[in-house]
Chain A
Amino acid sequence: MDVQTRRLLWDYVKRLNKESGTTILINTHYVEEADYLCNRVAILNYGKIITVNTPKALKDLLGSSVLSIKFAQGALANEFAGLLNGMTWVKKIHQHDAQLELSVGNEGVKIPEVVRLARKHGFVISSIDEHKPSLEDVFLHYVGKKLPDEEHE
């Protein structure tokens, strides 16, 4: 189904629900679709319901968002990572070259604070952005990232 048809069908499903009061059960592999359409979702694995909730609540519950921070050079990223290592609000740090990915708590430190912290210690951040968890992240959190060998129908 192309993008336009998909959206048309989504709209149809929403209207059917709203205008005719029809209860709708959806099975899908496309988590974005579930996020857009569903009031509530159940995540199933191995025949069991692992969790049931609204998409928003599921995303909020997962908590941690990720800050991507880029520096002009790898050495700077390395040094800044060292500085962050001692901070309680930093859950995890990943470094690829001049880029850092920080997992931070939901209530945690925000972009402006990180920029100010860097400046205070003489670092210049070249770019920074925050990624909140998607419903797909939630799904993978509960179901796990399987190795290809463990895939099943």
Chain B
Amino acid sequence: MNSVIEIENLTKEFDGLVAVNHITLNVGGREIFGFLGPNGAGKTTAVKMLCTILNPTAGSAKVCGYDIVRQRDKVRECIGIVFQDRAIDTFLTGKENLDFHARMYHLDRKTRQKRIVEVLDLMDLTGKENMRISDCSGGTQRRFEVARGFLNHPKVLFLDEPTLGLDVQARRNLWDYINLLNDREGITVILTTHYMEEADYLCHRVAIIDQGHIVAMDTPEKLKRAVGLNLISLQMAQDSSGTLVDSLKQLGWIKKIEARDGSFEISIDGGEEKIPELIDFADNRGFIISSIKLYKPSLEDTFLHYTGKTIREEEGSLKELWKAWIRRSEGKR
């Protein structure tokens, strides 16, 4: 079995609060795996245990085959971490930062030089290595941090909110580099993010965590499908509602039809592949579809489905909303 991370009943309690509650999962080699969850759900605690920063209260986990409690040094050798908060020395140049980090890993001088050239090249940072970090853009600083996380040739790279505060272009660039590391270097990536679009774009699989439990785990595609049916909206060239509805009912993958003056909303068990089928079906029976649009649930819809109500729906005064916001902000860790 080629699991790079094996987690069994992993649990962490803080003074009676169960932050991570019997989590079991495996992450395969070369996977980009996302941990999603509201603030305080336990994802950071889970990741900290995998990185050997925290010890579990119960259960166990292996990273690259090494136990996170008994073989911490071995685990540390095979992982790289990019923290959510900037953890790079802004008074040093990029190269000085990389060199310092490589020394912390006890790499000898020759290996240090070789690796630094290599990671600079990989992250397209060659030419910028002698700039002071404080003079670099946010996106470049972040890339230096990812480069640093890769210095020890980790098999697993932990990225905690990697694109926080980056602009659109820098964010997209970083996504490309993460894919590149995964693709070309065969590295396993563990990502935590609050941006569902980011998780959807990057992750092969995600686990949604709420109150210490895994409430859902699958590919983004499957999770989206599991939560709600896709919806097709149809406009007809002529009013033909009654008879078309009757015909459409023959199709097994059509789950619900709502007609309103010349247009239809159809809940379907399927996706884009049903569109040509539907057009052919209607054409063959003399009903002309003039426009057709597919609506799919987003990963954010899925996330909210599993982690609780959208607070947007909450009734109440401005004052109560404000209080609720303060409450939630304080709950953040």
Contacts and interface: CB of A to CB of B under 8 A. Distances in A.
A143 interface: yes
A48 interface: no
A148 B140 contact: yes
Contacts, number: 133
B39 A70 contact: no
Contacts of B194: 1-3, 6
Contacts of A153: 137-138
Contacts of A12: 318, 321-322, 325
Contact of B139 (A1, A11, A68, A148): A148
Given A2-B194, A115-B275, A116-B283, A20 B325 contact: no
Contacts of B294: 129-130
A146 B169 contact: yes
Contacts of A24: none
Q: Mostly helix, strand, loop or mixed at chain A's interface?
A: helix
A42 to B, nearest CB: 15
Contacts of B9: none
A112 B291 contact: yes
Contacts of B258: none
Contact of B293 (A2, A7, A130, A151): A130
A136 B273 CA distance: 27
Contact of A7 (B138, B170, B288, B312): B312
A94 interface: no
The dominant DSSP class at the B interface is helix
Interface residues of B, number: 53
Interface string A129-142: 11000001001100
B173 to A, nearest CB: 5
Contacts of B87: none
Given A112-B290, A151-B137, 4 more contacts: A29-B165, A110-B292, A112-B292, A119-B280
Give me the 4 closest cross-chain CB pairs, A-B, nearest first: A127-B272, A127-B273, A8-B311, A129-B272
Interface of A: 1-12, 15-16, 19-20, 29, 31-32, 68, 70, 110-112, 115-116, 118-119, 124-130, 136, 139-140, 143, 145-146, 148-149, 151-153
Interface of B: 37-39, 124, 137-140, 143, 165-173, 194, 196-197, 271-273, 275-276, 279-280, 283, 288-294, 300, 303-304, 307-308, 310-312, 314, 318, 321-322, 324-325, 328-329, 332
18 contacts: A2-B37, A3-B196, A3-B303, A7-B310, A8-B325, A11-B311, A16-B318, A31-B168, A110-B291, A111-B279, A112-B288, A116-B279, A126-B273, A128-B275, A128-B276, A151-B140, A151-B167, A152-B137
